A and B are shown apart, each in its own frame.
Chain A
Amino acid sequence: MTALDMKSVGLSPPETWVDRYGNILFRYAVLRLRDKTVAEDMVQETFLGALRNQDAYNHQSSEQNWLFGILKHKIIDYFRKAKREQPVDNPDADINYNNTFFNDKGMWVKGPAEWKQNPGSLAEQSEFYRIFSQCLKKLPKRIADAFMLREIDGLKGAEICQVLGISANNYWIMLHRARLQLRACLEENWLTGGPSS
Chain B
Amino acid sequence: MMISCQEASRLAMLRSEQPLKWSEKLALAFHLMLCGHCRRANKQLNLIRQLLHLKPLDLSAQDENYHLSLEKKEEIKRKLAC
Interface residues of A (CB under 8 A from B): 14-15, 17-19, 22-24, 26-28, 30-31, 36, 40, 43-44, 47-48, 51, 64, 68, 98, 101-102, 105-108, 111-112, 114-115, 119-120, 125-126, 128-130, 132-133, 136, 151-152, 154, 157, 172, 175-176, 179-180, 182-183, 186-187
**Interface mask (B52-68 → A, CB under 8 Å = 1, otherwise 0):** 11011111111100111
User: Which residues of the other chain, A, contact B60 by a CB distance below 8 angstroms?
Assistant: 24, 27-28, 30-31, 133
Closest to B40 in A: A112
The secondary structure that dominates the B interface is: helix
The 8 Å CB contact of B66, one of A30, A106, A119, is A30
Q: Are B80 and A26 in contact (CB under 8 A)?
A: no
Tell me, yes or no, whether B47 is within 8 Å of chain A by CB: yes
A130 adjacent to B4 (CB under 8 Å): no
Interface size class of B (residues with CB under 8 A): 35 or more
Report how far A26 CA is from B76 CA in the complex, Å: 13
Given contacts A108-B37, A183-B44, contact A23 B68 (CB under 8 A): yes
A149 to chain B, nearest CB (A): 12
| Complex contact A98–B6 (CB within 8 A) | yes
